[in-house]
Structure 1
Amino acid sequence: MTPDDNPFFSASDLPYQLPPFGRIRDEHFMPAFERGMAEQLDEVAAIVADAEPPSFANTVVRLEQSGQLLTRVARVFFNLHSSDATPEIEAIDREISPRYAAHHDAINLNPGLYARLRAIDPQSERLDAESTRLLEDYLRNFRRAGAGLDDEDKATLRQLNSELASLTSEFAQLLLADTNEAAVIVDDVADLAGLPEDAISAAANAAEERGHAGRFLLSLVLPTEQPALASLENPNIRRALFEAAVTRGAQANQNDTRAVISRITALRARRAHLLGYPTHSDYQIEDQTAKTTDAVGSMLGDLVPAALQNAKRELAELAEFAGVEEVAPADVQFYSDKVRQQKFDVEAVRYRPYFELERVLHDGVFYAANRLYGLTFTERHDLPVYHPQVRVFEVRDADGGELGLFLGDYFTRETKRGGAWMSNFVDQSHLLGSKPVVVNNLNISLPAPGEPVLLTLDEVTTLFHEFGHTLHGLLSDVTYPRFSGTSVPRDFVEYPSQVNEMWMLWPEVVENYARHFQTGEPLPQQLIDNLLASRIWGEGYATTSYLGAAILDLVWHALEAGEVIDDPLAFESQALAASGLDLPAVPPRYRTSYFNHIFAGGYSAGYYSYIWSEVLDADTVDWFKANGGLTRENGEYFRKTLLSRGGSVDPLEAFRTFRGRDPEIGPLLLRRGLGGNACERG
């Protein structure tokens, strides 16, 4: 193919190097992957063959500049595989994933390249701090990738990596298929009593799109807890929806994920042993801010007793309210919402009319970013997108300078995986002269045409959360693409996004966006006060559910080489019982069979990172509150000391520069009701 035939063969000439989605077709991916991999291997071979003594410029910088065609096609393809996985895309993924893994092995296990990296002396070259860190990062990652192994072990490692790439792709495809097939079909609208009208409309629309005109479809979100469980009055429908959620991937059908999980965890354990680590969790966490599995296990274990105490107290209160001895798992959210209403006068359905997507996005999320960082957002209708539902916004800095592009992909569809996430199409880098192109994905139910998109409280939180990741990408100011934006340890990456959630109910922000979609009236202050007062309610359940998933992740990845788990559900039960988290009414946020984060999403032995990062988040929220809140001065300081640095500095050192000290856990314990007087507030 010539550049005219394949849009990946040359750099995009669109603003900010936005991929030319209007020209990209499925048949372009494989030729672009193949040429891109071949080109990068040639570039690496040229580095190794260079007769000049190894230097930072002729080795590390050239590595950073290599593989640009491959980066272009990979960024588009793997984003599409998450957000618009058509059968054609899935077929390509099955073919390319093991080959892509093998390509990276060919670079990471290249002995000549590793020798050149080790020969570079940062002191004699007088490298600046970011360049020194880049060299150290390459050396560490080559070592961890197996560059020091002998040829026989390298061959084994290549085989393991290739099979793991195929298996994680298979898990994602099985889970997506089962999530779609497990959606609950309802025949009679009376069975949806309790759901707001717009949610019923969305269910009718979803059913019609799937070929069930005249019926209603309750699609599943990724976590165990389904939002509709808090509102549905029919206990039979609640039970059907709950069972559909918790049995995904665990039925003896073509979408059963259990055998794949057994194989993935066994291979990860073998690979860790080959690389010199006792377990996969030891391998993964060594490269995070936590450093050791023991540190993570200790932190999680310390939180369990208080979380369980609060959860059991909440469950007892629910049972008393419902007049039963014990509340069934499918009914917990329903009665929890009722108790919240009774205690705090907070009824979720009363808030939705004030959370219309356009208002939340423009007058909430964008408004806060403008107040803090001076950013402005202009929608571009002249630029191509990969799906009709995607929107593009040009982002400019406070001085009017071009900053990057932001893409919003907000609605659920059969080809999109569950959950919410941020990703990049283009990384910011001064070396490459590139500015960021960032995308946010959510899974909001699409209402019938002409009806407003009204969000739940959780969806508003998610919108602010994911945009926190976007800010981390957009505000990046680094030289090397390897350090751009969110290229930080997994247990640090959630920190900026969690901080951004604070602005959701910040007075100036909520007053600006929370307006009734029909009347324009602001959300009553009493409802805001009630919502703030109610936040501690349900934290026992939420924390216990989260800890169940985080501990499951660690236990699955604490297997040693040779251990194979034939019955994943029995293993899960034993692990929860051993940690004291085997409460039937509080299932893990993700059960093993649909734990996409750890079996397909890059969070293996890293799901703990959300609460680890929340320590930094809660401490940072206290700083903003103590220093005047939503001001440009505060935003610029946070941007300069932390958001802009990406992975170019040690993340905890960046936090210390921002905060002036090490993080403290007290604010997190208070927020989650896990210490002192906070427990009494539940």
Structure 2
Amino acid sequence: MTRMSDVTATTAATQLDPANPFAAPSSLPYGLPDFAAVRLEHFRPAVAAGIAAQRAEWEAVATDPTVPDVVNTLDALERSGELLRRVLAVFYTLASSVGGDEIHAIESEIAPQLAAHRDAFWLDRRIYARLESLASATPLLDLDEETTWLLENYRKDFVRAGIRLSDAEMEHLRELNARLVTLETEFSQRVVKGMESGAVEVEDPARLGGLDEGTLAGLARNARDRSVAVNHLITLVLPTQQPLLARLHDRELRTQLLEASEQRGTGLDAESDARAILLEVARLRAERAQLLGYEHHAAYVAEDGTAATTPAINEMLARLAAPAARNAGKEAAELQEMLDADPDVPGGATLRAADWSYYAERLRKERYSIDDAVLAPYLELDRVLNDGVFYAANRLFGITFHERTDLAGYADGVRVWEVKEEDGTGLGLFLGDFYARAGKRGGAWMHNLVDQSHLLGRKPVVVNNLNVTPPPPGEPTLLTWDEVRTCFHEFGHALHGLFSDVRYPTLSGTNVPRDFVEFPSQVNEMWMSNPDVVGRFARHHETGEPLPAELLEKVLAVAEYGEGFATTEYLGAALLDQAWHQVTPEQVPTEAEDVAAFELEALQRAGVGLELVPPRYRSTYFNHTFGGGYDAGYYSYIWSEVLDADTVEWFETEGAVDGDGGLNRTAGQRFRDALLSRGYSQDALQSFRDLRGRDARIDPLLKRRGLTD
């Protein structure tokens, strides 16, 4: 069955008005979208026209009477959808980074349209037949390795999408896909609403002891911006743990803040209640997996990653869970001793989850004499970028960064840099969107506005998003050590996109398996603690004095503290993700009130159901998995870290020159050539083998996280 036959008749009716900014490719450098020309009313007609245009392009491939070859089939498919690609790159950038009710309404409207559009391609037997015909002739065509890999991936993805189903089964699959994308969109929007409705109002400033003047000013600005009738408003970030838990002296306010975080989406606020949605998502994903011939959704997802099977994922997570929980227990005992010694807390008090960050921070200060307030003046954003993130990239790869103030981003504060090769050749554009704003989703991420492709003659345009609290006007942006780490991490993704050197856009940059994509970004974190790099960016924003050597030594030492909590917190979320997706439709709870019980049982069964260490994300605000993108794939971070830890070891040993820790052009070029430039033009693990000369070993990861006996 095919749904393309009526496309050509409707194409003419959906021609896009030439005045619409998406009607033609952007004339700006590197194809950067002209954000200044875009209005919300441009999106609906542009999406409709883009869908119609690509359907017509697919129809031309499907009905081509000539023998299938690379040009008329593979190249034609890869070239299709240019208009839709342009508009969606801009739309989803605004949806995630700007937000607002109107754009969310458009998002909800077009989500099922796009799901149906994808199905129209992946369930078209005519296109699949042409690919099969091309594959059968491959030995005679002598295809290059990248083209052969693309062809095999298309064939595999058609099968995984359901091309071998009956007509009736295909129709049911379409219904499932349409419903799922609608639910995932709604879940993501409810997560944002939950962050907003869960903000904690503080009337009495005396309760905010422990916060510096800059933070207090930011909380007062939050209250003004949201027009609440209190002096200060503590807004929430996406993960369970909230930054201010480490600093607030008021124990009851800490408890209130953590409860507000954990109760997001549980029904206290009707508009953000996500329970019924996540249950339906889990049930429909399980039903779809069985329709496609898989035991459950997790098995379907694992097959397409480097892990390959859920037993392999379960085995690794189980291997880590017991030692991580044991280490967390040891850390809890230390924190209980600190609580017992706190004169401001009545005797006999028991450590709470809301106390953990506070006393862990005090322990760090006692053991390592580090105070975030003392450290922050040495971590100014611009210096971190220019003398840290960009400097390391220059030392490794020879690239340079040139801010283009003549090019505008999509919101106030978004900055644009042109990235150039060592010889001055333009490589692409890098956009930095570092500040939190109302409507922006939480967390940090990287995405592409333009994918690199030799076939399309395109160089990359990539974006990094963070959620740093904006400073008061005229004040510098001072970061925490964790925010510095996030800068380096997200830029690792950016490098993966910028260095892409492939023919086909489908295989470009970070379009790799989910359990591989975090690997390059995790590796890039290593440079923040390289002596040469940190010695340049960690300087006082007023005096230029470097971070004192003894303080730097303590910062690097303290980074190893708390791995029990950090690993257990992460594993809690990863195991929850697997639990929701390793079930049959009948095993998914049916009542919203059962979500908490399912979650608790899953965590306890896995050995990480620690009351003092809640998972990084609870189910009702676990956007990675129920908003889509990392569903049954949140294990990817630790799976990728196996590759990361092994690669860091390579940089620091074989790649090092004269004790530089691997920060040199030879090591950087090898990493770029073997891995960063390859995108998904070959098996991802083969790219790792090309770098390392062997498969990855888990021992460096176990040592890093303190999980060895």
TM above 0.5: yes
Select 1:666's aligned residue among 664, 681, 699: 699
Amino acid at match of 1:56: V
Structure 1 residue 349: deviation in Å?
2.3
Helix, strand or coil at the partner of 2:648: helix
Contact kept, 8 Å, 2:407 with 2:416, in 1: the verdict is yes
Query: How many residue pairs end up in the alignment?
Result: 676
2: CA distance between counterparts of 1:390 and 1:342?
Answer: 39
The answer to whether residue 521 in structure 2 is matched with residue 497 in structure 1 is yes
Give 1:594's aligned residue.
621
Q: For each residue in 1:353-403, what CA deviation from the matched residue of structure 2 results, as whole angstroms up to 9, or x when unmatched?
A: 111111111111111111111111111111132111211111111110011
Give 2:24's aligned residue.
10
Structure 1 residue 177: deviation in Å?
0.8
1: CA distance between counterparts of 2:518 and 2:362?
Answer: 31
1: CA distance between counterparts of 2:205 and 2:530?
Answer: 38
Contact kept, 8 Å, 2:408 with 2:415, in 1: the verdict is no
Q: For each residue in 1:182-231, what CA deviation from the matched residue of structure 2 results, as whole angstroms up to 9, or x when unmatched?
A: 11122233322212332222222222211248712211111111111111
Structure 1 residue 536: deviation in Å?
2.2
The answer to whether residue 380 in structure 2 is matched with residue 363 in structure 1 is no
The answer to whether residue 319 in structure 2 is matched with residue 295 in structure 1 is no
2: CA distance between counterparts of 1:61 and 1:412?
Answer: 40
Q: For each residue in 1:21-42, what CA deviation from the matched residue of structure 2 results, as whole angstroms up to 9, or x when unmatched?
A: 1111111111111111111111
Helix, strand or coil at the partner of 1:123: helix
Give 1:440's aligned residue.
464
In structure 1, stretches of 5+ residues that fail to align are 677-682
Give 1:619's aligned residue.
646
Helix, strand or coil at the partner of 1:406: strand
Select 1:42's aligned residue among 56, 59, 63: 56
Q: For each residue in 1:299-321, what CA deviation from the matched residue of structure 2 results, as whole angstroms up to 9, or x when unmatched?
A: 00011111011000000111012
In structure 2, stretches of 5+ residues that fail to align are 1-14, 341-347, 657-661
Select 1:376's aligned residue among 356, 378, 400: 400
Amino acid at match of 1:538: G
Give 2:225's aligned residue.
209
1: CA distance between counterparts of 2:477 and 2:202?
Answer: 22
Contact kept, 8 Å, 2:201 with 2:230, in 1: the verdict is no
Give 2:118's aligned residue.
104
Q: For each residue in 1:594-645, what CA deviation from the matched residue of structure 2 results, as whole angstroms up to 9, or x when unmatched?
A: 1010011400000000000001111111111112221011111100000000
User: Given the superposition, is the C-alpha separation of residues 57 and 380 from structure 1 closer, same or farther in structure 2, using an over 3 Å criterion?
Assistant: same
Structure 1 residue 2: deviation in Å?
5.5
Give 1:236's aligned residue.
252
Give 2:322's aligned residue.
305
Give 1:486's aligned residue.
510
In the TM superposition, what are the counterparts of 1:521-536 in structure 2 within 5 Å? 521-536=545-560
RMSD, aligned α-carbons? 1.2
Structure 1 residue 346: deviation in Å?
2.4
Amino acid at match of 2:696: P
Q: For each residue in 1:520-550, what CA deviation from the matched residue of structure 2 results, as whole angstroms up to 9, or x when unmatched?
A: 1111111111122222211001101111110
Q: For each residue in 1:432-485, what CA deviation from the matched residue of structure 2 results, as whole angstroms up to 9, or x when unmatched?
A: 000101001111111211111111111111111000000000011001000110
The answer to whether residue 295 in structure 2 is matched with residue 281 in structure 1 is no
Contact kept, 8 Å, 1:439 with 1:470, in 2: the verdict is yes
Select 1:122's aligned residue among 123, 138, 142: 138
1: CA distance between counterparts of 2:559 and 2:393?
Answer: 24
Which segment is superposed worse, 377-386 or 326-335?
Answer: 377-386
1: CA distance between counterparts of 2:385 and 2:197?
Answer: 31
Amino acid at match of 2:621: Y
Helix, strand or coil at the partner of 1:51: coil
User: Given the superposition, is the C-alpha separation of residues 562 and 54 from structure 1 closer, same or farther in structure 2, using an over 3 Å criterion?
Assistant: farther
Q: For each residue in 1:218-250, what CA deviation from the matched residue of structure 2 results, as whole angstroms up to 9, or x when unmatched?
A: 111111111111111111221111111111111
The answer to whether residue 160 in structure 2 is matched with residue 144 in structure 1 is yes
The answer to whether residue 70 in structure 2 is matched with residue 56 in structure 1 is yes
1: CA distance between counterparts of 2:207 and 2:304?
Answer: 50
Which segment is superposed worse, 529-538 or 542-551?
Answer: 529-538
Helix, strand or coil at the partner of 1:392: strand
2: CA distance between counterparts of 1:624 and 1:173?
Answer: 41
Select 1:315's aligned residue among 312, 322, 332: 332
Helix, strand or coil at the partner of 1:393: strand
2: CA distance between counterparts of 1:385 and 1:436?
Answer: 15
Helix, strand or coil at the partner of 2:141: coil
Select 1:512's aligned residue among 536, 545, 563: 536
Amino acid at match of 1:672: R
Give 1:639's aligned residue.
672
Give 1:680's aligned residue.
none
Give 2:242's aligned residue.
226
2: CA distance between counterparts of 1:378 and 1:372?
Answer: 17
Helix, strand or coil at the partner of 1:372: helix
1: CA distance between counterparts of 2:670 and 2:187?
Answer: 42
Select 1:85's aligned residue among 86, 99, 102: 99
Helix, strand or coil at the partner of 2:434: strand
Select 1:157's aligned residue among 138, 154, 173: 173
Give 1:557's aligned residue.
581
TM-score w.r.t. the length of structure 2 is 0.94
Structure 1 residue 3: deviation in Å?
5.2
1: CA distance between counterparts of 2:86 and 2:688?
Answer: 32
Give 2:205's aligned residue.
189
Select 1:353's aligned residue among 369, 372, 377: 377
2: CA distance between counterparts of 1:601 and 1:365?
Answer: 30
The answer to whether residue 636 in structure 2 is matched with residue 609 in structure 1 is yes
Contact kept, 8 Å, 1:21 with 1:386, in 2: the verdict is yes
Structure 1 residue 341: deviation in Å?
1.5
Contact kept, 8 Å, 2:111 with 2:181, in 1: the verdict is yes
User: Given the superposition, is the C-alpha separation of residues 224 and 2 from structure 1 closer, same or farther in structure 2, using an over 3 Å criterion?
Assistant: closer
Give 1:679's aligned residue.
none
TM-score w.r.t. the length of structure 1 is 0.98
Contact kept, 8 Å, 1:180 with 1:220, in 2: the verdict is yes
Identical positions, percent: 53
Amino acid at match of 1:291: A
Structure 1 residue 254: deviation in Å?
2.0
2: CA distance between counterparts of 1:383 and 1:518?
Answer: 29
Give 1:72's aligned residue.
86
Amino acid at match of 1:403: L
Contact kept, 8 Å, 1:204 with 1:213, in 2: the verdict is no
Helix, strand or coil at the partner of 2:271: coil
